[in-house]
Amino acid sequence: MTDTFTLYGMAASLYTGKVRAYMRRNQIPFREEKAGGARFNTVVSKAVGRWIIPVIETPDGAFVQDGTDILDYFERAGFSKQSIYPPDPKLTVIAHVFELFGGEGLLRPAMHYRWNFDETNLAFLRTAFEDVLPNGLDPASREQAFLHASGRMRKAAVVFGVTPDTYQTVEDTYADFLARFEAHLADYPFLLGGAPTLGDYGLFSALYAHLARDPKPLHIMQTTAPRVFRWTERMNMAEHFEDEITLKAGPDLLNPAALPDTLKAMMRFVAEDYLGELTAHVAFTNTWLADQDDHRLKPGVLGRGIGVATFDWRGHEITTSVMPYRIYLLQRITDAFDGLDADDQASLRALFEETGLAGLLELRATKRVIRENHLEGWA
């Protein structure tokens, strides 16, 4: 037995990138194996109950699936040089907000800029998607396999609300987000100050694998938000890089009693862009739960989605897939908030009211999402 982990994933995968960056920063010994390889398509996918990435295989042969669960596994096992959970519990709640928003709320620009600019992206994506194709295909079979895999992702983009009617709004909104994050990074190397937290890894998912690698959005980020691009590089480094910003900010995290306006502006963006969708998804979920028997709620019985919800997003009526996994991440926010003492709850509620996010703290499904044997279900 060695002390080396195996990461099964894909270079172009949002959630694989999140795990890879964490493992690099914490100098966890690992090798990465493409998810299209023979072992993944037989042993690994069978062990986790479906074809899904990322997965890690531990040195003793156990498997952990899902980017959030993998990071928590390493945290519990003591691999973090500095915990990604801030020592101040109020900052932890904020970190959870950006964990959810980064991994799920930024899917519209991530999917739009990947799949709606074939003239710029397609040659790159053909190569990138070889990570999830079986080995040994002839050119014609490889092309057919790519078209099948990419076709599924193009359909997924529509399920996330990316349609011709919303293209321009997606682009304008993403530009707004980049500008807000760019302004924040002028003074801080990471989201909450001098070190990466759970919130950074959440944002890194979409902002690296899709939006800082695919040719079209890479050009946009490098030319309009160079500090955000530099942040993606900083997140991906095993070594600590010292520059003027890191020296000015120091190693400490922000003081929750004196948060900068730039962070508050980013929180307002989450409220403007994503709170309506979350609210609609929780409402749909609670109606759906009322009609289900216990068997239907067991892990593994359902697929990734339980239906669709329609809501207003920036003047567009859009319909998106309702997924229990998003409720799972939402629970992490509300659980962290519920664990605060009364004074901390009051101060954090005031901050969320100031930034338009107060409604987020009230969003609760009538049953809890659980993850059991790598699958989502309902308690």
d(CA 336, CA 123) in angstroms, rounded, equals 43
d(CA 101, CA 27) in angstroms, rounded, equals 27
Token representation of residue 97? 């907000």
d(CA 284, CA 37) in angstroms, rounded, equals 38
Name the more confident of 377 and 268: 268
- Considering Cα of 156, then 48, then 78, then 334, what sign does the dihedral take? positive
Q: What single-letter amino acid sits at 262? A: T
Q: What does the pLDDT look like over 4-55, one tens digit per residue? A: 999 999 999 999 999 999 999 999 999 999 998 889 999 999 999 989 999 9
Token representation of residue 20? 């890879």
Among 339, 343, 164, 174, which residue's Cα sits nearest to residue 257?
343
Sorted by where each begins, the domain ranges of the chain are: 5-76, 89-109+167-378
Q: Which of 135-139, 265-269, 284-288 has the lowest mean pLDDT?
A: 135-139
3-class DSSP state of 30: strand
Domain 5-76 class in CATH: alpha beta
CB atoms within 10 A of CB 62: 10
Mean pLDDT, residues 297-310: 86
Confidence of residue 250 (pLDDT cuts 50, 70, 90): confident
* Cβ-Cβ contacts under 8 Å for 252 (sequence gap 6 or more): 193, 194
Q: Which residue has the tokens 């302004």?
A: 183
